[in-house]
Structure formats: structure tokens, C-alpha cells
């Protein structure tokens, strides 16, 4: 081979290497452009998602605030209910104290009995009754006024035996209950 052929071959190899270098460089630029475009798309998508995430975060914060308000309201309602319950208990105790005081003063009520319990005010206006005494106004009986209770009427019959009483027999009334 001659030197001119070697120079031509070297020049051709250099030109091919330069062309290959340009080709690789152009391909790198295209790849970079493509990557820039893809990166921009990802950033745009991320920006949209960031706004959505901020909205979600804002909604979550609002839900937390509402939950806290409801918790505070529930605590307040619970406190009010407790206070109302305590107030009702105090009123019930006062009422029971009044009933016990009335029963203590009433000679017809044995407030020292083992089975004594103050009961709420009945239909007749009396709080407690001795055992066996019926309430006026019940079982078809007319209510008894205070004057009538001081002077009870005399019955016509012996209630235990159902026999008529003899008004002239002094011992006939002793069979009444």
C-alpha cells in the first residue's frame, strides 16, 4: 500500500469517526429533549397532584377541626347531663327529706318500722298509711275529708261476719276491723 492510500484510509476513518461522533451527539440531544419533555410532563402532573393533595390536606384539617368541635360539644353536653342528673338527685333527696319529715310528724305513720320507705305523694294527699288502712277515693269509696276522718261513721254491719249491728247492743261494735 502506498502512503497516499494509507492517508486516504486514515482520512476516511477520521471522517467516519467524526460522523459517528456527530450522530451520537445528535442522538444525545434528542434523548435530552425527550427527557426534558417527559420531565415537564411529570412536573405538570405533580403540580396537579400537589394541588389535589393540598385540597385533600385542607379537607382533612377541616374534618379534624369539626371532630374537635363535636368532641368539645359532646363533653359540654355530657357535663350538662351530669349537672342535670346531680340537680335531679338533689331535688329527689330534698323531696324524700320532706316526705320523711311529714311521716315523722304524722302519728298514723310508723316511720321507725323496719320496712318503712317514704313513698311519693299518693292520690289522697297522704304520703304513707298504716298497714290495712285503705286510701279514700279508691275502690269506689268517696274521699274522706279531715272532718269525716275525725268522726268516722258507724257501720250498719259487722264487717268481719257480714251481720247487721244492733244499735242497742254495746258490744256489737267491738267486732269491727
Question: What pLDDT band is residue 100 in, cutting at 50, 70 and 90?
Answer: confident
Flag whether pLDDT at 130 surpasses 50. Answer: no
pLDDT of res. 163: 52
Which of 81, 157, 92, 87 lies closest to 118 in space, CA to CA? Answer: 92
Query: Could you give the C-alpha distances from 129 to 52, 97, 124, 141, 153, in angstroms and in order?
Result: 77, 17, 11, 17, 20
Residue 125: φ, ψ to 5°: 95, -5
Its pTM stands at: 0.37
Flag whether pLDDT at 122 surpasses 70. Answer: no
Which of 131, 92, 133, 132 lies closest to 113 in space, CA to CA? Answer: 131
pLDDT of res. 75: 95
pLDDT of res. 170: 53
pLDDT of res. 51: 81
Amino acid at each position: 500500500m502506498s502512503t497516499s492510500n494509507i492517508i486516504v484510509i486514515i482520512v476516511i476513518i477520521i471522517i467516519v469517526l467524526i460522523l459517528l461522533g456527530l450522530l451520537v451527539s445528535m442522538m444525545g440531544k434528542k434523548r435530552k429533549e425527550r427527557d426534558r419533555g417527559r420531565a415537564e410532563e411529570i412536573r405538570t402532573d405533580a403540580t396537579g397532584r400537589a394541588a389535589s393533595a393540598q385540597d385533600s390536606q385542607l379537607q382533612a384539617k377541616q374534618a379534624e377541626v369539626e371532630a374537635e368541635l363535636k368532641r368539645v360539644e359532646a363533653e359540654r353536653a355530657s357535663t350538662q347531663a351530669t349537672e342535670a342528673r346531680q340537680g335531679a338527685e338533689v331535688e329527689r333527696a330534698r323531696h324524700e327529706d320532706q316526705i320523711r319529715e311529714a311521716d315523722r310528724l304524722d302519728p298514723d305513720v310508723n316511720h321507725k318500722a323496719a320496712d318503712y320507705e317514704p313513698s311519693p305523694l299518693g292520690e289522697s294527699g297522704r304520703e304513707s298509711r298504716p298497714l290495712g288502712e285503705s286510701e279514700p277515693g279508691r275502690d269506689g269509696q268517696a274521699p274522706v275529708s279531715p272532718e269525716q276522718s275525725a268522726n268516722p261513721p258507724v257501720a250498719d254491719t259487722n264487717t268481719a261476719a257480714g251481720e247487721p249491728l244492733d244499735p242497742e247492743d254495746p258490744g256489737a261494735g267491738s267486732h269491727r276491723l
